[in-house]
Amino acid sequence: MSAAQIRFLTLWRREVNRFMKIKKQTIGAPMLETFLYISVFGAALGSRIDKLHGIDYVVFVIPGLIMMAWAMNAFSNNASSILQQKFQGAIQDQLSSPASPLELLTAFSLGGFMRGLVVGVLTFAAASVLVDLPVDHVLVLLPGLFLVGFFFAQLGVLIGVRAEQFDDVAIAQTFVLQPLIFLGGVFYSATLLPEPFQTLTHFNPVYYMINLVRYGFLGFSEADIALSLLALTGATAAIFAFNLRLFSRGYKLRA
């Protein structure tokens, strides 16, 4: 193994090790949260709600819940990890190593991506036990989930680098991400909304992500799949390029 490979794997291992050491909080809590959503919206209220586009309500919401768990965990892991390391000064150990901006950014990103993957897979496994969850278009589902995870991992890195206090991360999560995800149609079909909210939903990027994942699982989407994939690929590439520029400039990382 080359020195560069060892370096990258160690940077990445550090990020995975961090969330695995506090797995009650980083894996257990989001699993419980998703279980509660499935219980309340699926089992308890779901039986009172008509089928949506011919799909049982509980089955309709699960793809969105998996996407939400993946996205929120990828985001919050990276934002918290980077801010904590900046706060402790421990990030100096990585920054003064020979690691390049690309290696640092990719390793930080993959930490959250892995946490999102673990929570997403566990949620999928648990949901599969509770309901009969089909996987209709695996070739859309896998790239869709990959892009969603990587996009939110990048967003987490961006907020973590910019943040100067823990409030900054909490504000982004509570006042921006959570509303976008909830209003993107995790729990409902946008076609049920009155105007102008139905049209406004089309300006929410998370709406397209949810539809991609829902299409991958259930074969049903309200949005154009090819366009959604293309837009998400573009958005992910754009935020990665932006972050790489920040890392190369040392923005809020190097004095």
Partner 1 sequence: MSTDGQVAKFSAAERGNALQIEGLVKRYPTGVEALRCVSLEIEPGDFFGLLGPNGAGKSTLIHCTTGLAQPTAGSIHVFGHDAINDYADARQAVGLAPQELNLDWFLTVEETLDYHAGYFGMPKRERRERAKELLETFSLTEKRDERTRTLSGGMKRRLILARALMHRPPLLILDEPTAGVDIELRLELWHYVRRINQEGTTILLTTHYLEEAEQLCDKIAFIHEGEIVSQGSTTELAASYGVANLEDAYLKLVGRQELSRSRVEELAAS
Q: How far is the CB of 15 from partner 1 (least distance, A)?
A: 10
Query: For residues 16 and 180, which CB has a smaller minimum distance to partner 1 in the complex?
Result: 16
Using an 8 Å Cβ cutoff, are 157 and 239 in contact? no
Query: For residues 219 and 250, which CB has a smaller minimum distance to partner 1 in the complex?
Result: 250
Q: How far is the CB of 248 from partner 1 (least distance, A)?
A: 11
Cβ neighbours, 10 Å, residue 213: 28
Determine the Cα angle at 45 with ends 43 and 47, to 5°: 65
Q: How far is the CB of 254 from partner 1 (least distance, A)?
A: 5
Using an 8 Å Cβ cutoff, are 198 and 175 in contact? no
The CA distance from 59 to 48, in Å, is: 14
State the DSSP string of 207-245. HHHHHHHHHHHHS--SS-HHHHHHHHHHHHHHHHHHHHH
Query: For residues 54 and 96, which CB has a smaller minimum distance to partner 1 in the complex?
Result: 96
What's the burial of 64, exposed, middle or buried (CB within 10 Å: 0-12/13-18/19+)? Answer: buried
Query: For residues 21 and 51, which CB has a smaller minimum distance to partner 1 in the complex?
Result: 21
Q: How far is the CB of 166 from partner 1 (least distance, A)?
A: 14
Q: How far is the CB of 95 from partner 1 (least distance, A)?
A: 6
Binding residues vs partner 1 (CB under 8 A): 1-4, 6-7, 9-11, 13-14, 17-18, 21-22, 84-85, 88-90, 92-100, 250, 254-255
Query: For residues 16 and 170, which CB has a smaller minimum distance to partner 1 in the complex?
Result: 16
The CA distance from 205 to 193, in Å, is: 17
Using an 8 Å Cβ cutoff, are 98 and 180 in contact? no
Q: How far is the CB of 175 from partner 1 (least distance, A)?
A: 28
Q: How far is the CB of 8 from partner 1 (least distance, A)?
A: 9
Query: For residues 100 and 204, which CB has a smaller minimum distance to partner 1 in the complex?
Result: 100
Residues in the chain: 255
The CA distance from 223 to 226, in Å, is: 9
Query: For residues 26 and 221, which CB has a smaller minimum distance to partner 1 in the complex?
Result: 26
The CA distance from 21 to 18, in Å, is: 5
